[in-house]
Amino acid sequence: MDGGQQGQPGFSARLDDFLCFSIYAAEHAFSRAYKPLLAEIGLTYPQYLAMTLLWGEDDQTVGQLSQRLSLESSTLTPLLKRLEADGLLSRHRDTKDERVVRVKLTPAGDKLRQKAQTIPACILQATGMSLEELGALREQILALTKRLQTAAGGD
């Protein structure tokens, strides 16, 4: 490690550029790692993330999924429609409040969970990291994300 930090003005700016570069690359790397595994069960990466939320808790609204995925409804609606066309879920207006649409797994969608169960272990192995390391890294990234969102919203 070099003891002296190069104090060029504007040089320090490079460092956080590199952080966003690394996040950018990591996101692509994850997507590419999942892609061949997901292709076998006919899902794209964002579709898999949405299905994972439903596997964890069925019968969610578009708004809930939108918030948990950090996606706009304009992005999520077509994605859910494709999953519906594939027979994996159903979309129906809530009878109480007809503004909201409830998304529920079909038997086929629930069944797919079994096939998808082996995927996380494959990715875990690909990372070559322990669960503790992954958890710690996740916490750091979540904290960073929260700060970026707060700064963006409150600025």
Partner DNA sequence: TGATAAACAGTCGTGCACGACTTAATCGTG
Partner DNA sequence: CACGATTAAGTCGTGCACGACTGTTTATCA
Residue (130 or 145) nearer to DNA, CB: 145
Helix residue ranges, H only, 8-130? 13-39, 45-56, 62-69, 73-85, 107-116, 119-127
Q: Which of 42, 63, 87, 135 binds its own copies (CB under 8 A)?
A: 135
| Residue 60 contacts residue 91 (beta carbons within 8 Å) | no
> For its own copies, what does the binding mask look like between residues 97 and 126, x meaning CB under 8 A?
-------------x--x---x--xx-xxxx
Contact 82, 75 (CB under 8 A): no
37 binds, among its own copies, DNA, none (CB under 5 to 8 A by kind): none
Least distance between DNA and beta carbon 104 (Å)? 13
Residue 108, binding choice from its own copies, DNA, none, Cβ under 5 to 8 Å by partner class: none
Task: Give the footprint of DNA on this chain (CB under 7 A).
Answer: 24, 28, 31-32, 35, 44-47, 61-63, 66, 70-82, 91, 96-101
Sheet holding 101-105, edge to edge: 60-61, 101-105, 89-93
Please say which residue, 16 or 97, places its beta carbon nearer to its own copies.
16
Site map for its own copies, 61-100, x if CB under 8 A? Answer: --------xx------------------------------
Residues 10-39 that bind its own copies (CB under 8 A): 10, 12-30, 32-34, 36
Sequence-separated (6 or more) residues with CB below 8 Å from residue 138: none
Quote the Cα angle for 108-75-43, to 5°: 35
Quick one: CA torsion of 72, 74, 79, 83, rounded to 10 degrees? 110
